[in-house]
Every structure is written in C-alpha cells, then in structure tokens.
Amino acid sequence: MLVWILFLLCQVGAPALAQDLCQRDAPNGYKVRISLKTALGEDAYEWNQSEMFFFQATMAFAMRRHFQMETYNVDNIILCVQTSRVSFWFVVTSPDNTTMLIPKADVEKAVRMSRHRINNAFLLSDRTLEFLGIYPTLAAPVNPDTPPWLIVFGVVIGAVCAGIIALLVSSLLQKRRKEKGMTEDGQDEEDMQVKGVENGINLDGTYNRGFTDDDRFTKL
Amino acid sequence: MKVSNQDLEERIPSYEELEKLENEEAGDRPKWDNKAQYMLTIVGFCVGLGNVWRFPYLCQSHGGGAFMIPFLILLVLEGVPLLHLEFAIGQRLRKGSVGVWSAIHPYLTGIGIGSMCVSFLVSLYYNTIMAWVMWYFFNSFQETLPWSQCPVNANMTGLVSECERSSPVDYYWYRETLNTTPDIDNTGGLQWWMVLCHVSAWALLFICISRGIETTGKAVYITSTLPYAVLTIFLIRGLTLKGSLNGVKFLFTPDMNELMNPTTWLDAGAQVFYSFSLAFGGLLSFSSYNSVHNNCEQDAVIISIVNGATAVYAATVIYTIIGFRATEKFDDCISGNILTLLNTFDLPEGNVTENNYDQVLHSLNGTNPEVIQGLNLKTCDLNSFLSEGVEGTGLAFIVFTEAITKMPVSPVWSVLFFIMLFCLGLSSMFGNIEGVLVPLQDLGVFPKSWPKEAIAGTTCVLCCLVGLIFVQGSGNYWLSLFDSYGGSIPLLIIAFCEMVGVVYLYGIDRFNDDIEFMIGHKPNLFWQITWRFVSPAIMFVIFVFYFITKVQETPMYKAWNPESENFPTLEEKEYPTWIFVIIFILAGIPGLSVPLTAIYKCLRNRCCKKDNEFKQDDLNTIAKQVHLTDEATKNKPDIPETADGR
C-alpha cells in the first residue's frame, strides 16, 4: 500500500520535478525556434504534439550518437515554455539519474555533430530551425587552384596577341608586295615624273608626288 | 564682323581642288567605306559611359521628367549647332584638329594643341575605367559572383570585418578590385591584377586603332550596335522584375520647381556639351574623311536625336533595374523588422505582414515601448533606397552589380552588362585616340617613315605606362581628379574659342558659302543665329559659372577609410597642397595653350621678319603637299609672285 502511494507520488512529483528542471532561461537548457512558414511556405506542416515527440526522439538520437555508451530515451528530453511562434525550451537529463542535467557544453557538441540530420528530419535548415546560442559553422570557402578570372584573362589576352601578330604579319606582307611592285615599274614612273615637270601644261593628268613618298606608309 | 585674315586662301583647299579630289579620288587621306561606318563611329563616340551613368543621375536628382525640358532646349540651342559646326569645318578643310585651326589662322594652332592635350588626358584615365570593366567581366564567369557574399576571415570564425560593416559589393569594389588606400598620399603600390587588366585594355585598343579608320571602321559595327541590343535585353528583363516600375516612376516624376534652380540648367548644359564629345578634335577628324558633298547638316541633326534618345532610353533601362534593387532592399528591410518583432514577442508566423506592419508596430509601441526601443528597428524607406549612390562608377560597380546578384542566372546578366559597358567605352576611346594621333602626325612628332601601326603602337605604350598611376592603390582618387579638372574646364574654353574662331576669324559668310558648296543650300536662319550669338553665349555662361564654382570650393575628395568614424560612408578629405600643381597642369595647360601658342607664333613672326619663313612654318601635312604640287605644276609662272608679295 505504502509502495503504491509512493509510486503515485512519484508519478505526480516527476512531472513537477521535470518542470523545475526545465524552465525559461534554464542554465543548462537551450531555446529552439522553428520557422515553418518561412521554410516551407504553402507546404508547411502543422506543429503539434506528434512533432514535439519527434523532436524529443531526434534529440535523443543526437545525444546517443555523441555519447556512444549512454542510452538516451525520449523521456530524457524535457520540453517546456512552448509558444505559438513555435519556440520552446528543452533540457536533457542523464539516463542514469533523471534529476541530473547534462551540461550545456555537451548538449551543444551533440547538436553540432548531428545538426545536419536534425535539420533534414524536419525539412528545415540552419536558419529556420534555430538553436539559440549554437551558431552554425561557416562553410569553408571553395578555393579553386586557378582563380577563374585568370582563365578568362588568359583566353582574352591570347586572342589579343594573336590579333597583334596577324596585324603585323599582314602589314609586313603588304609592304613586301608593294616593294616588289615598285621595283618592276620604278623606271616608268621616273620617266613620267620628268615628263610631268617639263610639259606640265600639256599633260593630261598631274602626277601626284604625294604618292611616291608614300611607299613606306601603310596602304590605306 | 570679321577680323582680317590674310593668306587664308593659301592655306585651305579651294573649291576646284576639292572637286578634283572628290572626282579623281587622288590624295591619300583615308576614307570611310560607307556612310554607315561613319555614322556608327560618330554615334559610338558620342554615346559613351556618360549616357549610362551620368544622365540618369542628373535626371533623377533634378526633378525627373522636368529635367527633359532644359536638356532638350539646350540640346537644340547648344549641342546641334556646335556639332554642325565641327562637322562642316572638318569636312571643308579636310584635316585633323591641329591642321584645321592652323589653316584658319596660324595663331589659332593653340586650339588644336589644346584639343590634343585634353584628348590625351581623357584617354589616359578613360582606358583605366575599361580596365575595371574588364576585371569585372573576367570575374563574371563564376556560378556565385564573387561580389555576392562576404569572404570568410583568416581563422574561419566569421566574415571579414571590413565587409561585414559595409556590404559585399562595396568590399569587392574598394578592397578586392581597387585595394584603395585611405588617402591620396599613400600610393599603395601597383596592384598586379589591375596592371594585367590595364595592359589588356590598351592591347585591345591598339588592335582596333592600329590602322586608323580602316580598322576602327570595322570594329564599330560591333562596338556601336551591341550596347543597344544589350539595353533592350535588360529592358525586357527589367520590366518583368518586381518593383521595376517604381524605379521608372521615380526617374520620370516631374518636379517643376527644379526648373527655377539655375544649377539644373547648368548641369543640363554641361551634360549636353560633354555628351557630344565636342572640342576633343575627334569629331573634326572623323568628319574630314567624308566626301566633300556629304550632307553634314542632316548628320548633325540625326546624331543629336540619336544621342538624346539613347540617353533617355538608357536612363529608363537603368532605373528599371534600380527600382528592382530598391524594392528588394525595402522588402528585406521590412522582413528583417517583422522577424525581429515575431521573435521578440513570440507571435505566430504570418501574424505580422507587410500590410499590417505599421499597425502592429504602433500597438506594440503602446504596450511595450521600452522593448521596442531596445530592438533598434531600421527605418525602411523606398525613396531613400532609390536615390542611393547612383552616379558614375558607384552606379556601375556597386549598385548595378548588387542588383544583378539578386536576379536569377546572375552570371549571364553580369557578362552582358560588362560587355555593354566595354563596348560603350571602347567606341568613345576610338574618338579620343583619333584626337591624339592625328594632331601628333600633323605636328610631325613622329618621323614620316614610320608606318601607322608604329605610331599607334608607340602612343598606346606611352599612354599605358603613364596610365599606371591609375592602377596603384590610390588610383581611384587620381582618376576622379583627372575627371573633374582635366575633362571639364579646358573643353569649355576650347569650344568657345572654336566657335569664335570659325564665326569671326574664318568668317561666317565664307562658312555659309562653304556649306552651300558642300550640301547645296545655305544654312538657314536658325543656324545663323545660334552660331553667331546663342551658342557662344551659352558656352560663355556655363564656363563662367563652372569656373567660379570650382575656384570657390575647396577641392575635396571622398575616401574609403575603414578606420573613419562613419565607416561605410565615404570620408570627405581635403586634397594635400601639392595636388594644386597637378590641378593647374590638368586644367591650365590645355586651356592656356590657346593664348600661349598665339603669343609664341606672334613673337616668332615678329623676330624672324622673312615672310617666306612665315608661310613655310605652316604645317607640312600630306594634303598640303598635294595642294602645293598642284600649284607648282599648274601655275608655274605665278610662283615667284606669291613668294614675294605680302
């Protein structure tokens, strides 16, 4: 009979005790904030008791994963102070002694280790499932061996150099072609020039001396 | 009224000679392949970066739609007449800027030299902007654009502090691109990545100008048309984005009170003037390659219309994107505030939305005022986001790049935008370099035996080396210095002298006859009035006001100083005293070259009394050789007379 009364007292007292362990701003507890509408928009599911149970199970899993020896259970995760924002506080009790709380640092390590799994369980992300006080680790920057801009620069400067070489070669070829042409009928031109000065008035056209000096200019 | 001008006929080709040149196609002056090349080159020269990043800012800050009124009025009264004048005189005298002015009167050679100096100074810094555009272009070929997020700091604990305090785009521009020093005294050394881009910009320019208009004429088919295509693509994309119409409305909402403000009219006048690239000498040069009977009057009107329309079109496109960015920032700001409220008061999601935000805030302020104060909620104002830093390099490299990061498929838009900027700038550079190369050739600085490629190459190498000032740590400050002082006051002086020189020294009557010879009818009353009185008066007024404003204010510059108090805002600093020497060189030398050359020529004329020498001192240009040879063979008996007389 006494045992039965004691048992009844324990049943009533346990939640009360649990209530003392978990409270707002508990020294070993964390506040969790969930933004379902931001994350999922129209597909957002409703946050109810089943989801709370799922959370307890996920946290227990995270604790087990971190402390591989200990067997944590759903009862070891105590939740309180739920709001309609969807935010709540939780504390973790030790499986051996339900009155003893696991220190904050250990809980943090466990959460960090399984953060990705926890997020995925709820279809959320680091931003929409927040553990206030546990900051997400920043992704390591991806440093490619060659900066991409150097590659594009290389392509452009290669094209430019090719263009400059083509330009110089083509102008050299033109010069050579002109020189060949000049030596062939150089004699004729000199005669014409002389004629032009002497018979200026009678000649049909005036020879434009501008051109003879021009052979070293590029053809325009 | 006309000042006496001796020997003018000796120095310029007569109508008969012009007809001969035209019919026989003799003479070795380069020619345009077709009219389209000429028009595209001129359009490319006039339509530049200023249309994209100066005009929209002026429009928005001076009363939106109301700004169109002074802009259009001054376009008609100032822009078109000056443009027609430059086209006509270049086409008639068929020489570059130094050649034209020394032909009109040897004492006016200074105008040509001034144009050359200004073109040189502007080319130096303009190509550095091209280098910056190329840097951003090279970096656009990545999935996540590098200016969309802050880099992580050395020990991976958080973001780089300078970036966190300002913004990723600011950090990328000031630190990773420019690596700016806190003030102009620290040079900061050459930034190797910028040197590479700088060299590649000059190399690309060299390829395009190496043979003069033979190569630029081909290049402009792309560089002048591509910007229009890209602007259209951006317009279509922009109009489908949320908030774009806010931007367009903001741009064009007229505020008629601004018309009373004289600064509005001054800014409109200056914008018309700089937008047409007048007084650089490039327009004169390009026009001189035309056939003699080309209708320059029609060209001037068409170019002016195209330039004005492009400015308005570009402004619309830019502001659709600015409107989008401002709306995004506004939405982010409001969402941030809403989230803070929800978190603090543990209200369910969706309780506070944009619509009832003000109501809820008000009621919460009534119940828990201390809590609300402690939250430090940001004030979100759409108009302040719309008017943020939207001029010059700030527009292109900070505001627009930020807008692009918010658009889906950002790398594509980034590549398109920077290609457009590059083409706009490159086509303007063609004109600038033309204004440098042709006078150098005319002045005989380079030996006659050098081919065109060598001359272009030497000039490019020299400009590249001098331009290394702009790729140091403090390069940005030097560039704005050059921009404010080198590219403003001297141009106004030169343009004013140009007008006065043509109308009163060359003679407006002779000029009218020339135009009648070239295009078949005399210029009508509108041109007469604007050339003789209206345009010079406007130029004079703008010059005086600009001069007074610049001289009165202490020159200040805005520096990016991470240690300053209002950090993300740029710090206003005074220039050190040695900068005044530089300012004098930049603004004074081109401007003073007009009177100084005149005095120099006058003194030389006085002290060496032989008139023969006076004539032979004239520029020995190639076209002149043709003219002389013709004279020699045609009028042989007359030569002794012209040598002795006068």
CB pair distance less than 8 Å for A163 and B212: no
DSSP letter string, B472-518: BTTHHHHHHHIIIIISSHHHHHHHHHHHHIIIIIIIHHHHHHHHHHH
Please name the residues in contact with B224: beta carbons below 8 A apart, sequence gap of 6 or more.
Answer: B40, B41, B43, B44, B47, B423, B427
CB pair distance less than 8 Å for A206 and B633: yes
**pLDDT grade, residue B612 (50/70/90)?**
very low
Mean pLDDT of B17-40: 82
From chain B, the residues in CB contact with A80 under 8 A are none
Cα torsion B341, B345, B351, B354 to 10°: value is: -10
**Nearest CB partner across the interface for A138, out of B31, B156, B622:** B156
Strands A77-83 and A87-92: antiparallel
- Describe the crossing of helices B109-138 and B192-209 by its angle, rounded to 10 degrees: 120
Rounded distance, CA A145 to CA B242, Å?
38
- How much is the pLDDT for B195? 94
Residue type, B277: S
Please name the residues in contact with B378: beta carbons below 8 A apart, sequence gap of 6 or more.
Answer: B333, B336, B337
Nearest of B305, B221, B212 to residue B37 by alpha carbon: B221
Mean pLDDT of A119-142: 80
> HSE (CB half, 13 Å, CA atoms) of B573?
19
Render pLDDT for B430-477 as a digit per residue (tens, 0 to 9).
999 999 999 998 888 888 888 888 999 999 999 999 999 999 999 999
Distance between A115 CA and the closest CA of chain B, angstroms: 18
> Do B183 and B474 touch, CB atoms closer than 8 A?
yes
CB pair distance less than 8 Å for A208 and B346: no
Please name the residues in contact with B531: beta carbons below 8 A apart, sequence gap of 6 or more.
Answer: B81, B85, B499, B502, B503, B508, B511
CA distances from B475 to B191, B202, B304 (A): 10, 17, 34
- How much is the pLDDT for A190? 53
Q: Which candidate in A25, A48, A127, A149 is best for mutational testing of the B interface (most B CBs within 10 A)?
A: A149
Nearest chain A residue to B457 by CA distance is A164
CB pair distance less than 8 Å for B138 and A87: no
List Cβ<8 Å contacts ≥24 apart for B225-232: B225/B40, B226/B419, B226/B420, B226/B423, B227/B47, B227/B420, B227/B423, B227/B424, B228/B310, B230/B416, B230/B417, B230/B419, B230/B420, B231/B313, B231/B314, B231/B317, B231/B420
- How much is the pLDDT for A179? 87
Rounded distance, CA B272 to CA B580, Å?
28
- How much is the pLDDT for A197? 47
Render pLDDT for B310-324 as a digit per residue (tens, 0 to 9).
999 999 999 999 899
Render pLDDT for B217-233 as a digit per residue (tens, 0 to 9).
999 999 999 999 999 99
Residue B637 vs residue B493, higher pLDDT:
B493
Name the region of B319 (left: φ>0; alpha: ψ -120 to 50; beta: rest). alpha
- How much is the pLDDT for B16? 84
Helix (H, G, I), strand (E, B) or coil at B573: strand
pLDDT of B608 higher than 50? yes
Whether pTM > 0.90 for this model: the answer is: no
CB pair distance less than 8 Å for B211 and A218: yes
Extract the annotated binding site of B for Na(+): 44, 47, 51, 275, 307, 424, 428
> Do B8 and B104 touch, CB atoms closer than 8 A?
yes
> Do B82 and B92 touch, CB atoms closer than 8 A?
no
Please name the residues in contact with B68: beta carbons below 8 A apart, sequence gap of 6 or more.
Answer: B59, B312
Render pLDDT for B399-434 as a digit per residue (tens, 0 to 9).
899 999 999 999 999 999 999 999 999 999 999 999
Nearest of B335, B331, B471, B406 to residue B169 by alpha carbon: B406
Render pLDDT for A180-201 as a digit per residue (tens, 0 to 9).
887 765 555 555 554 444 444 5
Residue B632 vs residue A91, higher pLDDT:
A91
> Do B51 and B311 touch, CB atoms closer than 8 A?
yes
Q: State ipTM.
A: 0.80
Please name the residues in contact with B112: beta carbons below 8 A apart, sequence gap of 6 or more.
Answer: B96, B97, B98, B99, B100, B101, B102, B281, B439, B442
> HSE (CB half, 13 Å, CA atoms) of B503?
21
Distance between A137 CA and the closest CA of chain B, angstroms: 8
Q: State whether residue A214 sits within 8 Å of chain B by CB.
A: yes
Which stretch of A154-163, B390-399, B406-415 has the lowest confidence by average pLDDT? B390-399
> Do B598 and B108 touch, CB atoms closer than 8 A?
yes
User: CA geometry: angle at B532 spanning B298 and B306, to 5°?
Assistant: 30
Distance between A109 CA and the closest CA of chain B, angstroms: 17
| Helix intervals (H) in B575-621 | 579-583, 589-607, 611-616
Rounded distance, CA B417 to CA B432, Å?
23
For residue A219 the two structure tokens come to 């053809």
From chain A, the residues in CB contact with B203 under 8 A are 157, 160-161, 164
For residue B237 the two structure tokens come to 């994309």
- How much is the pLDDT for B625? 58
Residue type, B261: N
Q: State whether residue A54 sits within 8 Å of chain B by CB.
A: no
**pLDDT grade, residue B116 (50/70/90)?**
very high
CB pair distance less than 8 Å for A87 and B346: yes
Please name the residues in contact with B7: beta carbons below 8 A apart, sequence gap of 6 or more.
Answer: B615, B646
- How much is the pLDDT for B640? 45
Report A:186-205 residues touching B (Cβ under 8 A).
Answer: 196-197, 200, 205
